[in-house]
Amino acid sequence: MTEPKVIGILGAGRVGTAIARRALAAGYEVRVASSRPASEISLVLQFTAPGAIASDAADVIAESDIVVLALPLSKYRSLDAKALAGKIVIDTMNYWAPTDGTLPEFEGAPSSSEVVADHLEGARLVRSFNHMGYHQIDGEARPKGDPDRRAMALAGDDADARAAVARFIDRIGFDPVDVGGLAHARGFAIGTPVFGAGMRRDELQAALGARLAA
């Protein structure tokens, strides 16, 4: 597989622009879309993620090697499953009823990403970035080998997609911790000890390994 060069981000808010800034700093080309026309977000992006290209969602999906979902989960049904089929897709979205409103399909769901994966049938979905706050993505990225480097978990059913996302995570400043199939994303869902904890690799591996063994 050729190395991903273009990162597309759906969602120009806190998480979307934090990932955009990290990806730009790592040398990726970055395209960003929201639900508005590109012309409406291009000026804001000049301040929030200088260098990122504002596009419409269809163009972001078509032109990117990895597509990051950084929109409110309540909007997931607006995602074009046909266009995303075959694409490497990172799902950062969490279900939080106070902001998303009550969404029956996520109430009691083991992992919101499994519901999203059902909608995006054919996409090479990888769950990641969801357990880290946007301020951590911005503030806690470190070069490889830095003793203070934080770890990022990832899970997905496509091993090649996981490998590509792991390299992306590594390049933008975090140690990837690959836990295997998408069902294992339950281990770093909202409400777990891992969520928001900012663990280093050995700590995250231990926390997720213990959960997998249980």
> Residues in the site for ligand NAP, rule: CB under 6 A?
10-16, 33-36, 57, 70-73, 75, 78, 92-94, 130, 133-134
Element (H, E) at 178: strand 175-178
Q: List CB contacts of 159: < 8 A, sequence separation 6 or more.
A: none
Query: Least CB distance from residue 141 to ligand NAP, whole Å?
Result: 14
159 vs 196, beta carbon nearer ligand NAP: 196
Query: Least CB distance from residue 14 to ligand NAP, whole Å?
Result: 4
Q: Which residue lies nearest ligand NAP, judged by its C-beta? A: 13
The alpha-helical segments, DSSP class H, found in the chain are: 14-25, 38-48, 57-63, 81-84, 97-100, 112-119, 134-139, 159-172, 201-213
137 vs 208, beta carbon nearer ligand NAP: 137
Query: Least CB distance from residue 51 to ligand NAP, whole Å?
Result: 17
Query: Least CB distance from residue 154 to ligand NAP, whole Å?
Result: 14
Query: Least CB distance from residue 156 to ligand NAP, whole Å?
Result: 16
Would you state the structure tokens that stand for residue 164, as one six-digit string?
Answer: 């590509």
Query: Hey, which residues does 153 pair with through a beta bridge?
Result: 177
132 vs 166, beta carbon nearer ligand NAP: 132
14 vs 201, beta carbon nearer ligand NAP: 14
Compute and round to an integer the Cα radius of gyration of the chain: 16
Query: Least CB distance from residue 8 to ligand NAP, whole Å?
Result: 11
Please work out, in degrees rounded to the nearest 5, the angle formed at the alpha carbon of residue 81 by the alpha carbons of 60 and 173: 50
11 vs 156, beta carbon nearer ligand NAP: 11
13 vs 160, beta carbon nearer ligand NAP: 13
Q: List CB contacts of 178: < 8 A, sequence separation 6 or more.
A: 154, 155, 162, 163, 166
